[in-house]
Homo-oligomer: A and B are copies of this chain.
Amino acid sequence: MSGNTFGKLFTVTTFGESHGLALGAIVDGCPPGLEISEADLQEDLDRRKPGTSRYTTQRKEPDQVKILSGVFEGKTTGTPIGLLIENTDQRSKDYSNIKDQFRPAHADYTYMQKYGVRDYRGGGRSSARETAMRVAAGSIAKKYLKQVAGIEVRGYLSQLGPIKIESVDWNEVHNNPFFCPDASKVTEMEDYMKALNKEGDSVGAKITVTATGMIPGLGEPIFDRLDADLAHGLMSINAVKGVEIGAGFDSVAQKGTEHRDEITPEGFLSNNAGGVLGGISSGQDLIAHLALKPTSSLHLPGRSVNVHGEPVEVVTKGRHDPCVGIRATPIAEAMMALTLMDHLLRHRAQNGGVEHNIPVIPAQADQ
């Protein structure tokens, strides 16, 4: 029960089903004095919004967010911020045929086993539509982190199916519908997606999300480590099947002399740690990678059973993303921002924001 809250001091609680009346969230614990407007939130929401390219679902979700409380004369007051997005494009009839079916790789079966009932329209609560609220709440965290702490959270697509990026140019990320930071790969991705759409199949993706301008000292060992809470946040995103910090699974085959990030007074010489040592931020860039599985809603028939345990052939009609990873970058950014915001406040509780008199090692030696 009651698993719809994220964070301990900076908390986000959400509600809403794909085809219900509205989605909403309460952001509790935002410090007072932050200038914030609906336009700030809308910017990130529009990045996540479907229907913006031919490679994402053609559903129209204006995702117009309203701030209902907690902001007075343009600034946060320290009281909870109520957020609301009214649902408008609800084609419930598209889903009536799968009412009694358990679509493979969907949450249909598990929701029924858990609750004994489910709102089957568009996946109900299990729809990725709920991530709109994460993005809206994350925007508040992102703005605070940037303005107050100088921390910037950004992400990009690092792999689309078999296509891996080879370089990162932050200026490219917003120049294509894939959040791809490598301009040389965009045409390949476009061709791949066209072929995939023709097939009727879907594909997975890998997202990388980072925080620069990091502060050392964030994270609360031994259980609420920064990396552990970040893994919680990222793995809670729909379709995510894996999370790495820094070198991640490459660490398995590394030797200690290779993995350890040596230090000079000029800075860290590498960042296999991904910015976290012992569960606490080191001041290096925080780096996480996440694996997203391919969309499970397919026009190609698949075997399953229905609520009576009988075999059925499932074909998902309706409009779906052929690669959920494409729109996942803003969601991953949101979860990293929410995690960092929570830990910024938790750390501040300890010493009132007063830094200790320990020399700060620059994030990178060559900066």
Instruction: Report chain B residues within 8 Å CB of A14.
Output: 26, 80, 222
Determine which of B119, B216, B304 lies in contact with A110 in the assembled complex, contact meaning CB atoms within 8 Å.
B216
Which residues of A in the span 72-91 have a Cβ within 8 Å of any Cβ on B? 72, 75, 77-82, 84
Contact yes or no, B305 A9, CB < 8 A? no
Contact yes or no, A353 B354, CB < 8 A? yes
Contact yes or no, B304 A255, CB < 8 A? no
Contact yes or no, B109 A361, CB < 8 A? yes
Contact yes or no, B232 A4, CB < 8 A? no
Indicate with 1 or 0, residue by residue over A221-256, a CB within 8 angstroms of chain B CB atoms.
111110111111111101011111111111111111
Instruction: Report chain B residues within 8 Å CB of A69.
Output: 15-17, 20-24, 125
Q: Taking the complex as formed, is A10 at the interface, i.e. its CB lies under 8 A from any CB of chain B? A: yes
Given known pairs A124-B77, A203-B254, the reply for A356 and B221 (CB within 8 Å) is: no
Q: Taking the complex as formed, is A281 at the interface, i.e. its CB lies under 8 A from any CB of chain B? A: yes
A-B contact pairs, 26 of them (CB 8 A): A1-B28, A1-B345, A2-B10, A2-B29, A3-B223, A3-B224, A4-B220, A4-B223, A8-B8, A14-B80, A22-B84, A78-B114, A104-B262, A105-B277, A109-B277, A113-B217, A113-B360, A161-B255, A205-B252, A206-B249, A227-B235, A251-B292, A251-B294, A260-B298, A262-B303, A272-B293
